[in-house]
Amino acid sequence: MSMEKHSVLKPIGLVHGHTEVRFLDDTIPVLTKVLGLDMLDRHDHEAVLKHPNTGWKLIVHEGGAEVQAKPERNHYGVRVANNEQVDHAYQYLLAHREELKLTKVVKRKERAGSYSMFFVEPGGNYWEIESYENRHKAGLPYEVAFPWKTVLTEERLPGCGYVPQAMTHGTMECTDLQASKKFYQQGLGLEVITHVPTIEPHDVKHPTTPWYVVSLEVPAKNKHYLTPLQRYTVAVESSTALVEAQREFSARKDEFGLTSVEAVQESRGAQSFQICDLDRNWWEITYLAS
């Protein structure tokens, strides 16, 4: 008799990515002027940004001068329409490096059809500007390679020579992908996919939306441990579902190898709790009362 266990969460979305920066005043101009994000809200030490073509929000936390630089394997990425725009972005960011206070601007070798460049914003975080032009040519469906409904025009970022059309992904490190996948799928209720048939699926996403979190397997000795401010947020449909999920994760903590399951808290009209997973990556489960 086969008894498939239900996932702990039945999430309604992967709704937020979080990032910790040093100073909002240094980072926000980079996010808005060269990555094409809109600022929706700003409090004292927190700002909410969003790309117009992408539904998830980026929550930016200000931590001050002592915030540690994060590794390349914990970056967020935006996608442009073609490889030429990646070259333009590289040239533009090199030329404006000082004015934007970027600490690094680097070109990357094409990997499995993904053509991209990286830079480090003044808050200590890598960002990627990527093109899936060659992945599409290799057979990746158009709507996956170019996950936007409205094409933004040059006026979005005047004079830059490229336009980020979507904020496609975040990334994190894991040390045992198979064990971690069990938590992503059977715990968080998310799916794990790949865009390239030869690569083991490791992109964690909600089935109804295109953005994803890449889980990169690394040897334990290379794993970086970040703060809860570098978390991802998954939403559930009700307050009851949230409380039940907290209870079930607590009960199944050992089964999923979780490092910690925090208590439910309330702030600014949302109820949530945090989980530190088997890789000590942080997740927030939330009910956003609307």
Find the shortest distance in angstroms from Cβ 118 to Fe ion.
Answer: 8
Does residue 128 bind Fe ion (CB under 5 A)? yes
Q: Which is nearer to Fe ion, 20 or 128 (CB)?
A: 128
Find the shortest distance in angstroms from Cβ 169 to Fe ion.
Answer: 6
Q: Which is nearer to Fe ion, 77 or 210 (CB)?
A: 77
Find the shortest distance in angstroms from Cβ 155 to Fe ion.
Answer: 27
Burial of 53 (0-12, 13-18, 19+ CB in 10 A): buried
Does residue 77 bind Fe ion (CB under 5 A)? yes
Closest residue by Cα to residue 215 from 276, 257, 174, 259: 174
Q: Which is nearer to Fe ion, 118 or 256 (CB)?
A: 118
Between CA 245 and CA 8 the distance in angstroms is 6
Q: Which is nearer to Fe ion, 57 or 169 (CB)?
A: 169
Give the number of residues in contact with Fe ion, rule: CB under 5 A. 2
Between CA 270 and CA 239 the distance in angstroms is 9
Find the shortest distance in angstroms from Cβ 230 to Fe ion.
Answer: 15
Helix (H, G, I), strand (E, B) or coil at 100: coil
Cβ neighbours of residue 124 under 8 Å, at least 6 residues apart? 20, 21, 22, 67, 68, 69, 70, 103
Closest residue by Cα to residue 114 from 77, 89, 150: 77
In this chain, which stretch among 120-128, 133-141, 148-156, 247-255 interacts with Fe ion, using CB under 5 A?
120-128
Q: Which residues bind Fe ion (CB under 5 A)?
A: 77, 128
